[in-house]
Amino acid sequence: MDKKTFSSTTIVNENNVASSPYMGSGDIDVFATPAMVALMENAAMLCVADELPEGFSTVGISINTTHEKATPLGDTVTATAELIAIDGRKLSFKITATDSKGKIGEGVHERFIIDKAKFMMKIK
């Protein structure tokens, strides 16, 4: 698997702000930290998805991130994941999030390659 990057983008709306009942992480209308983390995870997942064998996926196992600046309704947020290390089935990514004014968060995210059928059997 080559080192690569992938970006995922969303628009800040009433469903992904801190005050949203879906997020529940605050009481103001700015992009929620849980939404930023989910966007970062999505970028990392999609970064390697096309490199995996049929029936395999990745699951997040750790994330260490900052959320440094607020992003208002209507702005666009882009999360970028860069694959920086491969250790067996463990993948490490440098993750960043930006809005129209620049960087709003960054960190490191780890994912583990799994066989989807075996994984689902374990949780039943």
Residues marked as catalytic: 33, 41, 67
Tokens 């960087």 sit at which residue?
103
| Nearest CA-CA partner of 34 in 55, 20, 48 | 20
Phi-psi bin for 46: left (phi > 0), alpha (psi -120 to 50), beta?
alpha
Cβ-based neighbour number of residue 78 at 10 Å: 16
The DSSP string of 91-117 is EEEEEEEEETTEEEEEEEEEEEEEEHH
